[in-house]
C-alpha cells in the first residue's frame, strides 16, 4: 500500500509499505495539531503544528510528513521516526490549502493562492514558485512521484 490524500477540510494520508507498518496521518484544523495512527496497533500520537493545518502529506515510508498550516502560511515538517515531532517550520506565505509530497520526500508542493510553491525535501527550503490560472484548493501526487495534480477552484479545472 502506498498513500492517498482524501478530504477537503482536513487531510488524511495513509502511508506505508510492505517493509513498514502503515500509518494514517490526519490534520486537525481546529486544534492546530495533526495525528499519526499506527494502523497495525491502533495507537496514535498528537503532534502540535502551526495555525489551522489544512492538509498533510507523508512520504511513502511515513518517515517524514509535511503539513500545510493554512492561516499562518507555514509548512510544518514532521520527522516520523521513531517518535513523530516537528523538525522545521518553513515560512511560505499566503493561505495554504493543499500539499503533496513525492514518495521519497525529495520535494513537497504546497498550494498558496494561485501558486504552487516547491519545497526542497533535503534542505527544507522554499524553491521555485509555479503560477497557475486560478485559486488553488488542493494538490495530489501520483504514486511514482512524476506528476502533480492541483485542483483549481476558479475556473474549476484540474491542472
Measured CA to CA, the distance from residue 139 to residue 70 in angstroms comes to 14
Q: Three-state SS for 129?
A: strand
Q: Mean pLDDT throughout 141-156?
A: 86
Supply angle C-alpha 51, 55, 60, rounded to 5: 130
Give residue-wise pLDDT tens across range 15-53.
544 445 588 999 999 999 999 998 899 999 999 999 999
Give residue-wise pLDDT tens across range 98-107.
999 999 999 9
Residue 131 lies in domain = 5-158
Q: What's the confidence (pLDDT) of residue 46?
A: 95
Measured CA to CA, the distance from residue 56 to residue 6 in angstroms comes to 10
Query: What is the CATH classification number for the domain harbouring 145?
Result: 2.130.10.10
Number of domains making up the chain: 1
**Residues whose CB falls within 8 Å of the CB of residue 58, separated by 6 or more in sequence, listed in order:** 3, 13, 15, 23, 25, 64, 65, 66, 80, 101
**Residues whose CB falls within 8 Å of the CB of residue 53, separated by 6 or more in sequence, listed in order:** 10, 11, 27, 28, 29, 32, 33, 34, 67, 68, 69, 70, 76
Confidence of residue 158 (pLDDT cuts 50, 70, 90): low
Q: Give pTM, 2 decimals.
A: 0.85
Measured CA to CA, the distance from residue 56 to residue 25 in angstroms comes to 7
Residue 29 DSSP code: G
Q: What's the confidence (pLDDT) of residue 155?
A: 65
Q: Three-state SS for 114?
A: coil
Q: What's the confidence (pLDDT) of residue 49?
A: 97
Q: Three-state SS for 31?
A: helix
**DSSP per-residue string spanning 54-110:** EEEEE-TTSSEEEEEETTTTEEEEEE-SSS-EEEEEEE--S-EEEEEE-TTSSEEEE
Amino acid at each position: 500500500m502506498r498513500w492517498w490524500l482524501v478530504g477537503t477540510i482536513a487531510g488524511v494520508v495513509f502511508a506505508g509499505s510492505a517493509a513498514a507498518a502503515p500509518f494514517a496521518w490526519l490534520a486537525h484544523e481546529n486544534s492546530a495539531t495533526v495525528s499519526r495512527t499506527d494502523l497495525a496497533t491502533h495507537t496514535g500520537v498528537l503532534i502540535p503544528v502551526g495555525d489551522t493545518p489544512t492538509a498533510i502529506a507523508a512520504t511513502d515510508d511515513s518517515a517524514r510528513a509535511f503539513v500545510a498550516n493554512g492561516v499562518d502560511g507555514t509548512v510544518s515538517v514532521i520527522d516520523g521516526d521513531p517518535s513523530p515531532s516537528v523538525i522545521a517550520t518553513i515560512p511560505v506565505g499566503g493561505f495554504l490549502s493543499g500539499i503533496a509530497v513525492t514518495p521519497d520526500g525529495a520535494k513537497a508542493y504546497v498550494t498558496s493562492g494561485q501558486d504552487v510553491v516547491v519545497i526542497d525535501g533535503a534542505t527544507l527550503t522554499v524553491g521555485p514558485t509555479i503560477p497557475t490560472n486560478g485559486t488553488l484548493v488542493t494538490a495530489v501526487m501520483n504514486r511514482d512521484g512524476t506528476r502533480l495534480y492541483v485542483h483549481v477552484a476558479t475556473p474549476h479545472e484540474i491542472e
